[in-house]
A and B are shown apart, each in its own frame.
Chain A
């Protein structure tokens, strides 16, 4: 089952990597320099780290049947907040300052998530409309924090988050791994994941069954914004600065794409965290490949459009039925007829 679901994304990654190998034979080589590992494969993972984080949060929101369009704006707000606090500090290199700034940024992000969650779960606004509000206003808020400028900082502990190394590997990989493991444990080793899927499957039915759907939905949005906040800190740390306008631009679209590629249906009710990570890796590999082939990087939108369309069409039951009607219809009918049915199904041509 798992193999079947992820076989196409994995094959696509393999095909893209092979393309890269044909173009530049040294693509798979990983070198050790100054005690750090360097190589294109490691770059794919470390450059894709913010996207993976945002996509993990997005997975849970989509599992509840919602969507979070505000993640890019939240990432910008979080980065702006952290950079502002560090730039105001006397000693930018002090670890305590950096930790305080990150805590404040993540707290602010979670507040954004709470806002989204309350709009969706308590007031009952459609998710994509509710999060659209913060998507519109969020970039304004981020620019308000940075007063329209790009705040640059000189803080080595902060820089380490996005551009540092641990055990010869990029530090960002460990953050992603940590968030992923914690999320996976919390959702799959406790009932939380099942409850979230129940809410996504049928909010009213799960409420009648005693699931506190309201709280769970709010939790999902808060978590999504927290992930976006961590991603925002990471993005601003890579460039040692906060740009309210461009930080995390379009990341919501990439994240939705990653989630959908990973097999989580937009209708909600099921989610696959590992699939999401593979989806994010696929997107990042695609971007890297476009760079290495030498196509103008701006055209990667075109490729993403094709991938979104294909994945959504394949996920759509209506499309599958219409496209494969001739081949699939007889077995489908046979499948739906349970053995207990006494009435034989009449197939009319």
Chain B
């Protein structure tokens, strides 16, 4: 059938290609990490007062630098760290959803998952006057609860991605009306508070926020990484996935739980920052271009989007805008363009 006299060992041709792609993937990840660190340093140095990188590094390492310690150590550093962690959470959660449901438009902020946290938070603010840690807990719990409801409602001998998406949209619309109602009934102060929460911002990202956030991610991120292998099988369709030994429904459920937890935790920490969960996956996809898994590139892209968005919102636009507005305004046209393009080419990541 084929020549048995081969100079190369069996599998060498394939291995060469695979290793080249692997190298390209690693390059992309390394570049993303470097850029992220650079932007991180930038946000710590630049602001109303600019500090030298050396001073910043010394503060980070725990030394006391008069004049810098407070601003950098207690204001900018927690804000930047929160930004990174929240970006990772949204980026990972978003790409997990998009891959699992095989549709780039099936992002948690489009299909009503984030709406769960938001609606609960708005009601908590305007009706019950909650704030701070209690509010965050309510937001996380509601996000998970609503996601569970959507999952349960779309279960009918197993969960089909299409049905999940459509039911998510319906529930999202219902929750939006709850939000509108709460806002229309509230006193104007509460309304402002609610709107601020709804837009997503890092303005209240102090050290007490960073610690629980970091802990949660410490659990969720490794889980997501382990489960990402199942993503690779699910991408091929339910039948192919089962054939490869990855049972479709069970894997999807596990992935959904972790993805929802990631998104809810991010939302609790910084509000629903518009479009980060949606955009991180497609942007990572364009960078990686089939060379490998999207999970970590998307996480890094998410972190970058949040950091850059916040930096732009704080210093580059004249007025101070929270990060949610920046990502919302810039993300919206890109979202529509992606929509058009994905419809043309088929839509799955």
A and B form one complex = no
